[in-house]
Structure 1
Amino acid sequence: MDRLWTDFVNSDYHDWRGGNRSEDRLGKAEWQQAFLKQWQLNATVPASSEEEGVLRNFRNELQAIATGLSDGNALSNKDQEWLNGIMEEGQVIRRLNAGDEGLNLSLIPVGTQWQQVMAEVAADFAITVVEGDGGRIRICDNTDCRWIFYDDTRSRTQKYCDDKMCGNLMKVRRFRAKLKKD
């Protein structure tokens, strides 16, 4: 299941099939527009070169924190302070709504800049850590892929970002390697 923060950090694309192709989608206006639309966020597209630099630094720091959690490390005080600083930049309005399934509370972003988007991404990451389990954050076992994902399986044993793509590819690679040995 995609989450706002995993979709953002995985904008650093690597060819999961083993090719040398990689792509930083963060700087592409098409990716920015699709990302904002999917997550119902607002910001100016394309992001300015200064904003892109800030977004890349944010993504790299978030990837580093997620990698640390996937390695079994706890969220440090420094990481908490950094996340809090990012989230402080994004103010929200709380709105109570009546829906088909009763009342729900919406948090509506006030800003429409990339700083607000980063605050929403950081908040989604913080919610994952608080409500979930940081130890469930994983990096795909396909070394060509390197996508970060949240393992929401009951057994906590998910190894690949997608069993149909990376999982099948790795199964075929193991099978072929076994045939070569025989």
Structure 2
Amino acid sequence: MESLWTDFVNSDYHDWRGSGRSENRLVLSSWQHAFLGKWCLSAPIPALEDDIRVLEQFRGRLQQLAADLSEGGAMAQADRDWLNAAMSGGLITRQLAGEGSELHLSMVPAKQEWTQVMAEVAADFAGTVIEGETVRIRFCENSDCRWVFYDDTRNRTKRYCDDKMCGNLMKVRRFRAKKKAEAIKDNG
């Protein structure tokens, strides 16, 4: 299950195949456009250099907090204060939308800027914390990948962000290492 906050944190891309290539997708206008469109958010594209710097710092802190919580740590007061400060940058208004008997309440951002986006990301992360689901935050066990994901399996044992990509790659690597060890043993 992908969420707003994991999608944002994963803008720190690392090639899962082990090439060593990485990419800061926050600086890419194409990523900014796709991210905002996917999550129905608005902000100026391309983001200004100052915005990028703030977004990178925010991402790093959120990534570290997710790592701490995924390892069973508790959220410190300083972390709560930081999240609250991030969420305070986002103002919303409520509007009654829809037609006829299909009315619903929608929350519309008061601003169309990157601080609003960070507030929404922080609120989405806070929702994960409030629901007590921090034990489901995972970092892909493929050390080349570093992808953050939410383990939505019943028994909470998901190890890889994608079983078809990272999972298969790691299975092949283990198999080859085992065969190599066997060959060395047989020849040794």
TM-score range, shorter chain: over 0.9
Deviates more, 1:85-94 or 1:110-119: 85-94
- 1:144 maps to amino acid: D
The Cα shift of 1:96 comes to 4.6
Q: Which residue of 1 aligns with 2:168?
A: 168
Matches within 5 A, 1:78-93: 78-93=78-93
Once residues 109 and 65 of structure 1 are traced to their aligned partners in structure 2, the CA distance between those partners, rounded to angstroms, is 26
Poorly superposed stretches of 4+, deviation over 6 Å = none
Computing the radius of gyration over CA atoms, which structure comes out larger, 1 or 2? Answer: 2
Matches within 5 A, 1:31-180: 31-97=31-97, 104-180=104-180
Q: Which residue of 1 aligns with 2:8?
A: 8
The Cα shift of 1:62 comes to 0.3
The Cα shift of 1:52 comes to 0.4
Once residues 27 and 134 of structure 2 are traced to their aligned partners in structure 1, the CA distance between those partners, rounded to angstroms, is 28
Q: Which residue of 2 aligns with 1:181?
A: 181
Q: Secondary structure at the match of 2:94?
A: strand
TM-score by length of structure 2 reads 0.91
Matches within 5 A, 1:16-35: 16-35=16-35
The Cα shift of 1:107 comes to 2.2
Deviates more, 1:82-91 or 1:128-137: 128-137
Once residues 98 and 51 of structure 1 are traced to their aligned partners in structure 2, the CA distance between those partners, rounded to angstroms, is 34
Q: 1:162 to 1:104 in 2, by over 3 A?
A: farther
Aligned-residue RMSD, C-alpha: 1.6
Q: Percent identity?
A: 59
The Cα shift of 1:112 comes to 0.1
Q: Which blocks of at least 5 consecutive residues in structure 1 are unaligned?
A: none
The Cα shift of 1:103 comes to 6.1
- 1:85 maps to amino acid: A
Once residues 83 and 131 of structure 2 are traced to their aligned partners in structure 1, the CA distance between those partners, rounded to angstroms, is 16
Aligned residues: 181
- 1:134 maps to amino acid: T
TM-score by length of structure 1 reads 0.94
Once residues 33 and 176 of structure 2 are traced to their aligned partners in structure 1, the CA distance between those partners, rounded to angstroms, is 40
Once residues 103 and 143 of structure 2 are traced to their aligned partners in structure 1, the CA distance between those partners, rounded to angstroms, is 44
Once residues 29 and 166 of structure 2 are traced to their aligned partners in structure 1, the CA distance between those partners, rounded to angstroms, is 27
